[in-house]
Amino acid sequence: MAIRRLVSVACAAVVLAAACSAFAVEGRTQEFTISAAGHDWHCTVHVPPSYDGSKAVPLVLILHGAGGQGSLYLTRCGWADKADKAGFIAAAPDGLPARADEPASFLNNPRLWNSYILLPRNPRASIDDIAFFKALIKELEKRYKVDTKRVYVAGHSNGAGMAFRLGAEMADTFAAIAPVASTCTVPNPKPSRPVPTVFIIGNQDTLVPIAGGKSTTPWGSRVTLPVARSLARWATAIGCSAEPKTVSDKGGVKIVSYPAKKGSVDFVAYYIEGQGHNWPGGDAMLPQRLVGPNNPSFDATDVIWEFFAKHAMR
């Protein structure tokens, strides 16, 4: 039964990868490879039609989950369309595989981000992802006219864990972060500045259960922290109260905020009823029996951009 399920997941990933090329987007989509931390990394960039290089525009990085591919998030999760409408550049890099020198494979050699979930003996754990992101930002700023006060990162699953890490270790680069469907796996986050954060998770996420505990991924079992405990740790790290306050609870969406102890840093979390581990509002990339249901009524991409648009580096 487990083998049949994993094969189904692999087939779904192949179908989605093939379907990606069939999705036409406005604007311009470009690809490039850069060398960093001893390896070559691939990135897909979507530039809106309004961009002509005459003025600086915001930059949003979108980080895929384990086994994923950056370009799928541009087309299947609405980021290319949102970039066209809002006028920002969307960059979706690919993480290196678990065995970085071998071809990526969803089941056997998934692309990953080093978000502190890898065991020290795993060769991938020794690769410096932070060095890559610094090189990527530098390359993007060289290729495009980027508003350096409006650089953001959104991530899904393992990519969300990496978004937390970037918020902790590159706080002077990112004006705000948006982790979706993950916990904060940074052992002792100490960002150099309070980083505005919007967090989103579904209440039927089977890979990152809200209550924490054991879950089964395509690559094996694991244990995660309760989401509330993880968010409390991040709230403390950015100078907010560890005790959230309910802002709204209606229409299947519960919104809580973590009040700032000093200043006015924003930290907001959304809990979505009927939502599993897929990107909320995007196409379901993995089978429901593995990751839970998809709730199309909540658009995470819209909510995240609305949050990002309110926050520029001071």
**pLDDT band at 19; cut points 50, 70, 90:** very low
Q: What is the pLDDT of residues 209-250, one digit of tens each?
A: 999 999 888 888 889 999 999 999 999 999 999 999 999 999
Contact 7, 219 (CB under 8 A): no
SS3 content of the chain, % helix, strand, coil (to 5): 30, 30, 45
> Is the domain defined by 2-309 classed in CATH 3.90.25.10?
no
How buried is residue 251: exposed, middle or buried, by Cβ count under 10 Å (0-12/13-18/19+)?
exposed
pLDDT at residue 30, rounded to an integer: 95
DSSP-derived 3-state class of residue 314: coil
Tell me the C-alpha distance between 32 and 154, whole Å: 20
Distance CA 184, CA 227 (A): 9
Band the pLDDT of 253: cuts 50, 70, 90. very high
**DSSP letters spanning 22-87:** T---SSEEEEEEEEETTEEEEEEEEE-TT--SSS-EEEEEEE--TT--HHHHHHHSSHHHHHHHHT
Residues 6+ apart with CB under 8 A from 164: 115, 177, 179, 182, 184, 185, 186, 189, 234
- Pick the range with the lowest mean pLDDT from 27-31, 75-79, 183-187: 27-31
Per-residue pLDDT tens for 33-77? 999 999 999 999 999 999 999 999 999 999 999 999 999 999 999
What is the residue extent of each domain of the chain? 2-309
CA–CA dist 235, 259 (Å, integer): 9
At 27 the pLDDT is 66
